[in-house]
Amino acid sequence: MDFSKLFELVIAASLINNFVFTRFLGLCIFFGVSKKMETAVGMSITFTAVMMISAALSWLIFNYVMVPLEITFLKIIVFIGIVAGFVQASDTIMRKVSPGLYYKLGIYLALISTNCIILAVPLINAGEHYSFIESLAFAFGSGIGFALALVIMASIREKLELADVPAPFKGLPIAFVVTGLIALAFTGFSGLIKL
């Protein structure tokens, strides 16, 4: 296994092809929970964890069941089912096993189950024929990228609360403008590495 390839994958997924700023996926959660730093951090942790586990699960199902059966065209439906089922199960189990963690992170789980980044990661893993470790690295990188986007946005929006924003731009509009500007800045990462 080539470690540098994995590192490149993580960098590529988190910075160069950042899901929020270059692929523009998962924007609803991004704008929803980036109002406060506290929720942003909680969401990032939960998101990365769910992302890695669901990527691993769907990789197993895809490569050991769907490819032999030649039904890879079903991957969208199946991945949605797997992710939603996994999130629901972890929600139930977490509530019983560690209520403290559930109160901290449980509210984000329901949001995550229908998130498009969570679906996109297994789909890309399948499409690019990544190996198991590579899929995990890709999922980790995507999670880190999303966390980075959330933390950057939350810190900016906490400051924006105090700023004198023109009335029509207050709230979501200015957040979109800011996101666009950060996305421009993120284009600077392209060409960082060649895959």
Partner 1 sequence: MYDVQRIITDILGLLHLTDISHFLIPQIGVGGGVEAKEHVELMPLIKSTLIFLAGIGTVLGLGLALAAKKYSVKIDPKVEQVKDVLAHAHCGACGYAGCEQYAEAVVCKPDVPPNLCIPGGERTCEAVALITGKKALAREPDFARIMCQGDWNRAVKKFKYEGIQDCRAVILAGGGDKACRYGCLGYGTCSRVCPFDAITMTYNHLPYVDITKCTGCRKCETACPTKVIEVLPASRQVIVTCHSKDKGGETKKNCQVGCIACGICAKVCPFDAPSVEKNLSRIDLDKCKVCGLCVLKCPTNAITDFIPHRSKAFVLDNCIGCRICTKVCPVNAPSGEQKELHVIDQTKCIGCGICTAKCPVQAIDGTFNVAEVIAAAAKKKAKAA
Interacting residue with partner 1 among 7, 28, 98, 103 (CB under 8 A): 103
The interface region with partner 1, picked from 7-15, 42-50, 162-170, 184-192 by CB under 8 A, is 162-170
Instruction: Express the helix, strand and coil content of the chain in percent, nearest 5 each.
Output: 80, 0, 20
Nearer residue to partner 1 within complex by CB, 28 or 163: 163
2 forms part of the interface with partner 1 (CB under 8 A): no
Q: Residues 7, 14: contact at Cβ < 8 Å?
A: no
Site string for partner 1, 46-75 (x = CB under 8 A): ---------------x---xx--xxxxxxx
Q: What's the min distance (Å) between Cβ of 27 and partner 1?
A: 17
Interacting residue with partner 1 among 9, 109, 124, 149 (CB under 8 A): 124
85 forms part of the interface with partner 1 (CB under 8 A): yes
Angle between helices 116-127 and 75-97 (to 10 degrees): 130
Q: Residues 114, 99: contact at Cβ < 8 Å?
A: no
Site string for partner 1, 28-47 (x = CB under 8 A): --------------------
167 forms part of the interface with partner 1 (CB under 8 A): no
Q: Of 65, 83, 148, 88, give the one whose Cα is nearest residue 121.
A: 83
Interacting residue with partner 1 among 5, 32, 64, 92 (CB under 8 A): 92
Q: Is residue 160 helix, strand or coil?
A: helix
Q: Residues 134, 6: contact at Cβ < 8 Å?
A: yes
Cα(52)–Cα(12) distance, integer angstroms: 16
Nearer residue to partner 1 within complex by CB, 119 or 144: 119
Tokens, residue 103: 């109160």
185 forms part of the interface with partner 1 (CB under 8 A): no
Where are the strands (E) in 2-143, listed by range? none
Distance from first CA to last CA of the chain, Å, rounded?
16
The interface region with partner 1, picked from 32-40, 41-49, 117-125, 180-188 by CB under 8 A, is 117-125
User: What sign for the dihedral angle of Cα 134, 140, 142, 145?
Assistant: negative
Please report, as ranges, the residues that interact with partner 1 according to CB under 8 A. 61, 65-66, 69-75, 77-78, 81-82, 85, 88-89, 92-93, 95-97, 99, 103, 120, 123-129, 162-164
